[in-house]
Structures are given as C-alpha cells and as structure tokens.
Structure 1
Amino acid sequence: MKIESPCNDKCFNEDNHCTGCHRHIDDIINWANMNDKEKREVYKKIEERKKLLNLK
C-alpha cells in the first residue's frame, strides 16, 4: 500500500514547519525519496508535533 503525503497545501511558520501537515521542510523535500519506513517515521513526528500544539 502506498503511503500518501500528508500535504494539504498550507504554508510554513518561522521554524520551517508546515502549518498544515506539520512536517519540517526537510521532510517535505525528501518525501519522494523516502522509503516506507522513513515515511512512517515522519508520520510519527507529525503526531508528536500535533500533540505539542494540542491539535487532533
């Protein structure tokens, strides 16, 4: 099963994190070259960032 990008076309904040998908700019740039394990790790980081921001 293909792991889809979490991108939702939002913009970056001053910390280079997307305010929409909560990925860091490096994660976005490298997404196409990541394997499934690496993409799952990005999703874990997204959930951690959302918890820090009290988002669901």
Structure 2
Amino acid sequence: GIISSIENAFHATPELVCSGDALEELRICFYKNFEPRDCAHEKVSSRGCPQYVSLP
C-alpha cells in the first residue's frame, strides 16, 4: 500500500488525510536537519482513510 511504500523509501511513517474515499493529503515529516521522521504519534497513521482510497 501507500504507507508501506513511503516507509520503505524514507524509512519513516507518513500520515494520510482522507475525505470520504479520496486521499486529500500525504504528509512526510522531517527533523530540522531534513532527515525523515515518523509523522504518526499513534499506531494508526491514517486519519479517516478507508483501506482503499481513490487518487486525484
């Protein structure tokens, strides 16, 4: 899925923001030195996203 692809590429957990079945935002977080870091503070890293989303 999207999250595992980002985790493999950046070695960090992104955050997804959805509206209904559509992906609105994909957030990749960084430390001040531009090293990737986990965005999600909880185990669930997608806010309101279903298992399958449509891409714009």
TM over 0.5: no
- Which structure shows the higher strand fraction? 2
TM-score category, normalised to shorter length: under 0.3
- Which structure shows the higher helix fraction? 1
Q: Larger relative contact order (C-alpha < 8 A, sep ≥ 6)?
A: 2
